[in-house]
């Protein structure tokens, strides 16, 4: 008797599980059906989603696996060396593109010479996650006036090869590089500044590099510039 009850319970859970899976399959890409989130996958297409460790804004493009033709590209980020670049907002959804079924190469451009490539196969009606091994770091440079913009170079760990250059920002600004270890160098001869800092990039982690004196906390009664008396 007990074994029959046990069997019935197992069968019930099994059926519940199957029903949940079937429901999940039926709503693939349907998270947009509730009015927010991702829209449904168009008929006859599959979805390629970039899994970038929490970095939801990268410059990338997609090449056809057979012809090598570029069929899609997005470039929302400014160049690392641009003086006007900073993080403009937070994007909660990963980047994605709906493609015809087939094989593709997705290329993610980083802020150094090395790009990250991934070969993927997109299946009709399915979401394919392409894991892109990239991470990010921020260089915060402060002087007597506070945070300021200075150019810096990104080297490989041995300081043998210059891989890229960047510009710090007075705002929040991240630099995206493939996972690995690098060195960042800021040199400014007039001020005798020469800082070399190692950068360890892991997927999904952020490193902040502070150069210069940390901004002192405001004292009680001390106002900002707008409060200054004439």
Binding to other proteins (CB under 8 A): which residues in 83-142?
107, 109, 113-116, 118-121, 123, 126-131, 133
Which one of residues 194, 213, 215, 223 is an interface residue with other proteins (CB under 8 A)? Answer: 194
Give dist(CA 168, CA 153) in Å, integer.
11
Contact pattern for other proteins over residues 147 through 186, marking x by CB under 8 A = ----xxx-xxxxxxxx--x------------xxxx---xx
Give dist(CA 126, CA 101) in Å, integer.
9
Closer to other proteins by CB, 171 or 194: give it.
Answer: 194
- Report, in this order, helix, strand and coil percent for the chain, each rounded to 5: 15, 40, 45
Closer to other proteins by CB, 83 or 226: give it.
Answer: 83
Question: Residues with Cβ < 8 Å from 174, sequence gap 6 or more?
Answer: 55, 87, 136, 137, 138, 206
Tell the smallest beta-carbon distance from residue 142 to other proteins (Å).
Answer: 14
Give dist(CA 106, CA 178) in Å, integer.
14
Give dist(CA 32, CA 24) in Å, integer.
14
Give dist(CA 106, CA 130) in Å, integer.
8
Contact pattern for other proteins over residues 11 through 50, marking x by CB under 8 A = --xx-xx--xx--xx-------------------------
Number of residues that bind other proteins (CB under 8 A): 72
Closer to other proteins by CB, 2 or 218: give it.
Answer: 2
Tell the smallest beta-carbon distance from residue 23 to other proteins (Å).
Answer: 11
Tell the smallest beta-carbon distance from residue 131 to other proteins (Å).
Answer: 6
Tell the smallest beta-carbon distance from residue 164 to other proteins (Å).
Answer: 11
Q: How many helices and strands (H and E) does the chain possess? A: 1, 15
């Amino acid at each position: 008797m007990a074994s029959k009850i046990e069997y019935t319970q197992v069968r019930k859970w099994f059926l519940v599980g199957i029903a949940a899976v079937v429901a999940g399959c039926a709503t693939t890409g349907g998270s947009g059906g509730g009015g927010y989130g991702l829209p449904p996958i168009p008929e006859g297409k599959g979805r390629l989603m970039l899994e970038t460790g929490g970095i939801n804004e990268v410059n990338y493009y997609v090449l056809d696996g057979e012809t090598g033709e570029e069929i899609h590209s997005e470039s929302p980020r400014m160049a690392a060396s641009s003086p006007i670049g900073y993080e403009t907002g937070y994007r909660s959804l990963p980047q994605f593109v709906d493609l015809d079924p087939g094989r593709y190469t997705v290329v993610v451009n980083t802020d150094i010479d090395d790009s990250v490539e991934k070969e993927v196969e997109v299946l009709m009606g399915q979401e394919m996650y392409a894991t892109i091994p990239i991470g990010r770091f921020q260089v915060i440079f402060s002087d007597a006036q506070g945070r300021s913009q200075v150019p810096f170079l990104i080297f490989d760990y041995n300081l043998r090869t210059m891989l890229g250059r960047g510009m710090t920002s007075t705002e929040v600004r991240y630099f995206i590089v493939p996972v690995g270890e690098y060195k960042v160098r800021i040199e400014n001869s007039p001020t005798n500044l020469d800082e070399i800092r190692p950068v360890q990039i892991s997927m999904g982690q952020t490193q902040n590099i502070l150069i210069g004196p940390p901004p002192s906390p405001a004292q009680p009664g001390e106002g900002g510039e707008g409060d200054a008396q004439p």
